[in-house]
Structure 1
Amino acid sequence: MTAISPAGRPLPPAVDDVPAWTDSYFNRTRVVVEKFGDCRVTYAVFLRRPVISAPRLATDWLDAIAARRGTRFDVELMHREGDWVGAGDPIFYLSGPFAQLADLETILLQKLGAPCVAAHNAYQMCVELPQVPFLAMDARHCAGAEMQEMMAYAAAIGSAAAQREGAKGFIGNANDATAHWFGAARGRGTMPHALIGYAGSTVRAAEMFHETFPAEDLTVLVDYFGREITDSLGVCERFPELAAAGRMAVRLDTHGGRFLEGLDPGESYAVLERHAPQAVRRYRSETELRHLVGTGVSAAAIWRVREALDEAGFPKVRIVASSGFGVGKCRVVAEAKAPIDVVGTGSFIPEAWSETYATADIVAYDGVPRVKVGREFLLRNGARRRGQG
């Protein structure tokens, strides 16, 4: 029997599969409690690092499990969805029959930790580039459909938090299945590198796409042959009407093994001296310098493409930048005022997976405060003052 969320979406694992996917000591605990008598417990659920609260997948799953088991769980949300949460601060308190909750902890924590950290990353990226819309391109890096759902949800929650501070945030994603998190029916995107290779030239790939989808705006990858400037201008010259109408974009996805066409370290510095000299006149780490003037999609590379488009008479052609746009890179290209129109990224996926580990500790048994030594900070304020009884 599959658990169904209040929104009508299936929530794995199915109710009958929970014992197989949870840690065995939780299954054994449930059996012991059923033998010696149930009690009402309260869990404090938290992470050990600052995050953005993203509890919906976890709490929806709890609601669905409770309904299927014919019981009730009470969730006291301490931080609303999208709120900042400090390290060790409970995101919610969960109360209910111990026998019904004991075997749910493993899966509950899986559904909470990673979305909260990813939401925090997405939030930071959006506030670093507040005037730039983002497109979530996380799916290809996810370990299956369940993670894909978690990461899309996280990006949407982090984005919404940034939008409340004036950022444009995430305007969509790259696949249909998770587009609902962004208020859309379908994902966005035009062509991968494979289509360029199939067509034999960047211009020919653009022609094929436009002939197949004539009503859609045209975004063309321009790094396949290492001729980002040449192919950007070639596509614009082939479709001048689309370019003039603002219905065309070039996507920069140059990999980190080479410079964009026409650039090298010296020329990259020269580009930034023309447009953002302040960005290179301060101390930079090696990573920051790479984002500014190094290989791949650097700030200098973005500026150089903008220069070429404007000089050729295509000022309305937009630039979509992808390839490694995590929090640090967003910060650096923002300082360089790089003229990006859209960022495509999946780099809100947590890099250090150990940071995503959520924890749940029982803090009360039948209303009596009790928690393991060292976790007293999880007790409610009144219980802390009274001691643990």
Structure 2
Amino acid sequence: MNPMTPERALDLAHGPLGPVEEREIAARTDAYFGRTCEIVKRFGDCRVTYAIFIRRPVIAACSLAIRWVKNVARAQGFEVECHEVYAEGEWVGAGEPLIYMSGPFTKLAPLETLLLQRLGASCVAAHNAYQMAMALPNVPFLAMEARHCAGFEMQEQMSYAAGVGSRAARKEGARGFIGNANDATAGFFGLERGLGTMPHALIGYAGSTLRAAEMYDEVYPKEPLTVLVDYFGQEITDALEVCERFPERAAEGRLSVRLDTHGGRFLEGLDPQSSYAVLERHTPGTIRRYRSDSELRDLVGTGVSAAAIWRMREALNEAGFANVKIVVSSGFNVAKCTAMHDAHAPIDIVGSGSFIPDRWSETYATADIVAYDGKARVKVGREFLLKKAKDKREVP
């Protein structure tokens, strides 16, 4: 059996495999493309070249979209040429063409809607994942985006994007995303299986954080154990109780505590004043500078703040559990990762799905035809696409 790689994951991905039939594509595409197709059939088909771009900086993540187009062409029996201007994982400036795509007008016109759906969000999410990884270059990430996606196609795109952005960051020395939370898209991170141990529901079922840890250990004795410790609002108390119950795991570094404290309260024992005091003890320069309101929330506010992470590390070390790791989750987007870096927060792993674009209007990709039967022509205002095409020798 071939080992799982991101390239093999693309081959196995559901997104590129469908839809490929003309009838199904026609039902999903915008009606004016279908009408255009019928008009061009009446008056004579031609070969066109599309330039596809996004209006904001992104990381090129085009493989899912391109593979889908090529699968459609194979299924429908026509030829298409797709030239990627930027290699996967490269930074792309705002408005720079990502792809030049050439083929018969009657075949490509119906694909525009579905192609753009597969492109824009992936490129923006890849850029977000790259920025998150670069903000905390020494910390590995787990992709936990699935629950926030609108169906499996989006989930697949977001996992693929996190993998692309992560590999781009890895080239610059960051750890990046080392895995994700489910099996179906684990291949984008070179894995066969998703990663993770327990949700809050298991702790509710068990009746205590310790009992949930014992249950997990009984069923998965050889697996590393990550225990959620915020269910009862006793993060430090419950974390230390679990560590004392599993001293060998703790000493070997096979035990982690996960902080997922929600934004409605502080970590056990903290309040605004004591949160400032924690950072003053460990990273005084961080808190003495001017900070915006959002930065202050990430540093000393409720939820999983930098102060909360430092307080947990402090408590674990004082109790003799220096090898127990701290996993954090809850809203770790680019801004929060940057704040954590500034605070030198002692994070061992970040679990986050916050690379999903939060301003969806930024994900809108655009496709313009720049040549008809080899003759350059584009609407006024998009002449820059012709220049790039000429530079790339795609359009005469």
What is the TM-score with the length of structure 1 in the denominator?
0.96
**Does 1:282 find its partner at 2:286?**
no
Match of 2:174 among 167, 173, 188: 167
Letter in 2 for 1:219: T
1:133 positional shift: 0.1
Separation of aligned partners in 1, 2:209 and 2:253: 19
Q: Which residue of 1 aligns with 2:5?
A: none
Separation of aligned partners in 2, 1:362 and 1:104: 13
Deviations 1:53-109 (A, max 9, x none): 000110000110000111111011100100000011000100011011010000000
SS in 2 for 1:360: strand
Separation of aligned partners in 2, 1:182 and 1:223: 29
Q: Which residue of 1 aligns with 2:55?
A: 48
Match of 2:304 among 292, 297, 301: 297
Deviations 1:133-164 (A, max 9, x none): 00000001000000000000000000000000
Question: Cα 1:376–1:199, aligned 2, differ >3 Å: closer, same or farther?
Answer: same
Given that 2:13 and 2:156 are in contact with CA atoms closer than 8 Å, whether structure 1 keeps it comes out as no
Given that 2:52 and 2:365 are in contact with CA atoms closer than 8 Å, whether structure 1 keeps it comes out as yes
1:214 positional shift: 0.7
Separation of aligned partners in 1, 2:73 and 2:162: 27
Separation of aligned partners in 2, 1:278 and 1:6: 45
Q: Which residue of 2 aligns with 1:65?
A: 72
**Does 1:379 find its partner at 2:383?**
no
Q: Which residue of 1 aligns with 2:88?
A: 81
Given that 2:149 and 2:155 are in contact with CA atoms closer than 8 Å, whether structure 1 keeps it comes out as yes
Separation of aligned partners in 2, 1:162 and 1:24: 40
Given that 1:136 and 1:173 are in contact with CA atoms closer than 8 Å, whether structure 2 keeps it comes out as yes
Alignment of 1:115-130 (within 5 A): 115-130=122-137
Aligned-pair identity (%): 67
1:382 positional shift: 7.6
Letter in 2 for 1:244: A
Letter in 1 for 2:225: L
SS in 2 for 1:338: coil
Q: Which residue of 2 aligns with 1:269?
A: 276
1:271 positional shift: 0.3
SS in 1 for 2:310: helix
Count of paired positions: 382
Alignment of 1:230-379 (within 5 A): 230-379=237-386
SS in 2 for 1:92: strand
Letter in 2 for 1:7: D
Q: Which residue of 1 aligns with 2:139?
A: 132
Letter in 2 for 1:47: I
Letter in 2 for 1:247: R
SS in 2 for 1:91: strand
Match of 1:12 among 10, 13, 18: 18
Given that 1:6 and 1:64 are in contact with CA atoms closer than 8 Å, whether structure 2 keeps it comes out as no
SS in 2 for 1:54: coil
Deviations 1:10-50 (A, max 9, x none): 43324241000000000111111111101010000000000
Separation of aligned partners in 2, 1:288 and 1:80: 35
Letter in 1 for 2:25: V
SS in 2 for 1:13: coil
Letter in 1 for 2:144: M
Q: Which residue of 1 aligns with 2:6?
A: none
Alignment of 1:148-163 (within 5 A): 148-163=155-170
Given that 2:10 and 2:188 are in contact with CA atoms closer than 8 Å, whether structure 1 keeps it comes out as no
Separation of aligned partners in 1, 2:359 and 2:388: 32
SS in 2 for 1:210: helix
1:6 positional shift: 7.4
**Does 1:99 find its partner at 2:106?**
yes
Q: Which residue of 1 aligns with 2:220?
A: 213
What is the TM-score with the length of structure 2 in the denominator?
0.95
1:9 positional shift: 3.8
Letter in 1 for 2:100: Y
1:258 positional shift: 0.2
- Structure 2: give runs of 5+ residues left out of the alignment: 1-8
Separation of aligned partners in 1, 2:354 and 2:11: 28
